[in-house]
Amino acid sequence: MLVTTYSPTPSGPATFHPHARQTSYLADGDQADATDGAPFVTRTTYWRYLTGVDVWNSEAHGSVAVLGDSITDGVSATVDADHRWTDYLAARLNSEPGAPRYGVLNEGISGNRVLLSGQGASPTANPSALERFDRDVLSRAGVRVVVVELGINDILRQPQQADPGRITAGLRQLVDRAHLRGLRVIGSTLTPFGGRTGAGPQHEAVRQGVNEEIRAGRVFDDVVDFDQALRDPEQPQRLLPAYDCGDHLHPSDAGYRAMADTLDVEKLKAQPAAAL
């Protein structure tokens, strides 16, 4: 699918996705009717303007909305390879016998937090999960189930959240709002970040506190244990080296595949719990 936009006058600020991990192309002048790619000689790894595409498919039975941070955004995935973990999940749902035929909506935003909005000077640049849940999940077409991968940036980004109970309380608010729409929510444990610059024992203690509550079943309808899938058995506070892109926070392509393989697609079919 090709989407081409043209602005005859300066457009002013444009929506953009800085971590698209996919090449787009720019051209001078009005090339909206171009039938080949010859005029588009400038490459960019940003997506601009377009925020979503609804696809009508008679084989699809709905969609799964994945609300996450840079790990869901796929900031370390190989460019132009479709190796985000949500891409691998989409491939499973499209090919595995018995898997629900859902489209996958990647609602990951780098730096995103559960509780607080803002990245840099503008508070609107990165709305919190609580703030954007209606826009990015409840208003999306065909959503049948939600997967949430969030909480690490609440721990690591300033101002840092030192109380795991506040993070899990925010996650429960998301679940409650999803239940009001009849949506089931699967939540992930927080993946390791040992060795990450600025991460210390106090941050690890908060991560463990959040994961304990999630694993106990007191937050989500069901759990996908990304922590267990990605951690190094010898140093469980760290990513397995093969699954580490090198920054000790974001997975490699192999790590993203492991995440997608860990999610039990049967859990995407079930109905939400009446209450938690």
Give the CATH number, domain containing residue 111.
Answer: 3.40.50.1110
Report how far apart, in Å, the C-alpha atoms of 45 and of each of 19, 51, 106 are.
7, 15, 17
Report how far apart, in Å, the C-alpha atoms of 208 and of each of 28, 146, 153, 155 are.
52, 23, 14, 11
pLDDT digits (tens, 9 = 90+) for 10-29: 888 888 888 899 999 999 99
Q: Looking at the structure, do residues 198 and 260 belong to the same domain, yes or no?
A: yes
Q: Looking at the structure, do residues 4 and 133 belong to the same domain, yes or no?
A: no
Q: Looking at the structure, do residues 175 and 262 belong to the same domain, yes or no?
A: yes
Asked whether the predicted pLDDT for residue 177 surpasses 50, the reply is yes
Going by pLDDT thresholds of 50, 70 and 90, the confidence category of residue 276 is: very low
Whole domain around residue 176: which residue ranges? Answer: 63-268
| Residue 153 placed within a domain | yes
Going by pLDDT thresholds of 50, 70 and 90, the confidence category of residue 272 is: low
Going by pLDDT thresholds of 50, 70 and 90, the confidence category of residue 78 is: very high
> 9, 29, 52: which is the final residue of a domain?
52
Sign of CA dihedral 104, 109, 113, 118: negative
Q: Looking at the structure, do residues 142 and 24 belong to the same domain, yes or no?
A: no
Instruction: Check residue 79 and report its DSSP letter.
Output: T
Please indicate, yes or no, whether the overall pTM of this predicted structure exceeds 0.85: yes
List CB contacts of 151: < 8 A, sequence separation 6 or more.
113, 114, 167, 171, 190, 207, 210
What per-residue confidence (pLDDT) applies to 37?
87
Residues 126 and 114: beta-carbon distance below 8 Å: no
What per-residue confidence (pLDDT) applies to 12?
87
Q: Looking at the structure, do residues 43 and 80 belong to the same domain, yes or no?
A: no
What per-residue confidence (pLDDT) applies to 16?
84
- Quote the percentage of the chain above a pLDDT of 70: 96
- Measuring CA to CA, which residue among 103, 195, 106, 203 is closest to residue 153? 203
Q: Looking at the structure, do residues 124 and 13 belong to the same domain, yes or no?
A: no
List CB contacts of 137: < 8 A, sequence separation 6 or more.
65, 67, 107, 143, 146, 178, 183
Going by pLDDT thresholds of 50, 70 and 90, the confidence category of residue 212 is: very high
Q: Looking at the structure, do residues 208 and 102 belong to the same domain, yes or no?
A: yes
Q: Looking at the structure, do residues 129 and 169 belong to the same domain, yes or no?
A: yes
| Residue 273 placed within a domain | no
| Residue 178 placed within a domain | yes
List CB contacts of 120: < 8 A, sequence separation 6 or more.
none
Q: Looking at the structure, do residues 128 and 16 belong to the same domain, yes or no?
A: no
Query: Domains in the chain: how many in total?
Result: 2
| Residue 31 placed within a domain | yes
Write out the H or E segment, with its range, that includes residue 154: helix 152-156
- Please state, in angstroms and rounded to a whole number, the distance separating the CA atoms of residues 247 and 193: 9
Across residues 112-140, what is the average pLDDT? 86
Q: Looking at the structure, do residues 28 and 121 belong to the same domain, yes or no?
A: no
Q: Looking at the structure, do residues 20 and 68 belong to the same domain, yes or no?
A: no
| Residue 225 placed within a domain | yes
| Residue 58 placed within a domain | no
Q: Looking at the structure, do residues 153 and 250 belong to the same domain, yes or no?
A: yes
Instruction: Give SS3 for 19.
Output: coil
| Residue 247 placed within a domain | yes
Strand partners, 42: 26
What per-residue confidence (pLDDT) applies to 109?
94
pLDDT digits (tens, 9 = 90+) for 217-232: 999 999 999 999 999 9
